[in-house]
Chains A and B, each alone.
Chain A
Amino acid sequence: MPHLGIILATYLGACVEWVEAFTIVLAVALSIGWASAATAAGAALLVLAGMTLTGTALLAYIPDFAWVQGIIAAFLILFGLRWLAKAIARGAGLKPLHDEVAQFNAVRANKGLSDHHAAWLIAFNGTLLEGLEVWLIVVALGVQSHHALPVAGAAIAALLTVIAVGALLHKPLARVPENALKFIVGGALLAFGSFWMLQALGYVWPLGDGALPALAAFYLLGGLGLIALLRRRVGVAA
């Protein structure tokens, strides 16, 4: 059961990042053409695939797993905490929601797009940076759960989903409920990170793997409570 949660969290998290990467590639493609923009995105994806293979192989062959588990958990905690906090802030109205159309317009306004080489680099760097977060999720969850292949498969499935929908629409995927996805994935990553961090520190979870859904529920319900509380405070302040 935890494996299904890992695969789902990876798929949803990867969807969020690939949507953001697609927006950048689409904006660049309108200047230098789809072929060049796709080459840049493809090159970045190749780098990410190489990093995933190397990272997974290296971490899987380290014999003392306890400290590796601690490091992986630390990355998941940092990542999950950031996403959950951001989603809470946006949900409560403390920060504006992420706007794919505004992001698309910002990239389109970049003067570098007039130069083919610079535009290619914008698409390459954009895909690489957004993909780094997917890489982190895939390596951390894949290695720790010993299910690297299905986890990587979930990230690839998310990529194919975004490409298919993007190719169909030919515009930024602004209707993806990005904040809700970030909230769910943030809570899930924080649950996995908390579980493995305390385990690495020598704590024995009373419910075993059963503590994972309990942790996820705690973070998600707690997050919803915080959104309601902060929203009320914002309303009072206004």
Chain B
Amino acid sequence: MKALFKTLFGSARTIAVAAGAVFLAVLALHGPVPGLAGAVFPAAMLAGAAYLARY
């Protein structure tokens, strides 16, 4: 069951990084320059990948 969960969702860190990036994108979308979301989200994702690679 644990292996199945990890296969489908990954680790808690992966979920936290993805959720954080989505949160930042939502903030950008509702901010003064919604167009920024298209840059904020991928940048957050790449930063998250760097973090996950280290841990």
Contact B7 A88 (CB under 8 A): no
Complex Cα gap A133–B35 (Å): 33
Contact A78 B18 (CB under 8 A): yes
Q: A77 at the A/B interface (Cβ < 8 Å)?
A: yes
Looking at the complex, which one of A79, A81, A230 makes contact with B48 (CB distance below 8 Å)? Answer: A81
The residue in chain B whose Cβ has the minimal distance to the Cβ of A207 is B38
Complex Cα gap A88–B49 (Å): 8
Q: Please, which residues of chain A bring their CB within 8 A of the CB of B35?
A: 206
A-B contact count (CB 8 A): 97
Contact B42 A218 (CB under 8 A): yes
Q: B50 at the A/B interface (Cβ < 8 Å)?
A: yes
- Which A35-54 residues sit within 8 Å CB-CB of chain B? none
Contact A219 B38 (CB under 8 A): no
Complex Cα gap A53–B43 (Å): 35
Complex Cα gap A211–B21 (Å): 18
Looking at the complex, which one of A74, A85, A197, A205 makes contact with B53 (CB distance below 8 Å)? Answer: A85
Contact A82 B52 (CB under 8 A): yes
| Chain A interface helix/strand/loop/mixed | helix
Contact A74 B46 (CB under 8 A): no
In the complex with contacts A88-B50, A197-B22, A77-B45 CB distance below 8 A: yes
Contact B54 A89 (CB under 8 A): yes
Complex Cα gap A77–B29 (Å): 19
Q: Mark A73-106, 1 if CB is under 8 A from B, else 0.
A: 0110111011011101100101000000000000
Contact A94 B25 (CB under 8 A): no
- Residue among A82, A94, A136 with most chain B CB within 10 A: A82
- Which A186-233 residues sit within 8 Å CB-CB of chain B? 190, 194, 197-198, 201-203, 205-206, 211, 215, 218-219, 222-223, 226, 230
- Shortest B24–chain A CB gap in Å is 11
- Which B15-55 residues sit within 8 Å CB-CB of chain A? 15, 17-18, 21-22, 25-26, 29, 34-35, 37-38, 41-42, 45-46, 48-54
Contact B41 A81 (CB under 8 A): no
The residue in chain A whose Cβ has the minimal distance to the Cβ of B21 is A77
Contact B38 A206 (CB under 8 A): yes
Q: Please, which residues of chain B bring their CB within 8 A of the CB of A226?
A: 46, 49-50, 53
Q: Please, which residues of chain A bring their CB within 8 A of the CB of B11?
A: 82
Q: A132 at the A/B interface (Cβ < 8 Å)?
A: yes
For the complex with contacts A78-B15, A194-B42, 7 further pairs of A-B residues with Cβ separation under 8 Å are: A78-B14, A78-B18, A194-B45, A197-B25, A203-B38, A206-B35, A206-B38
Between-chain CB contacts (< 8 Å), 9 pairs: A78-B14, A85-B14, A133-B7, A194-B45, A201-B37, A205-B38, A211-B38, A223-B49, A226-B50
Closest 6 CB pairs of A and B: A85-B52, A89-B53, A88-B53, A222-B46, A82-B10, A85-B49
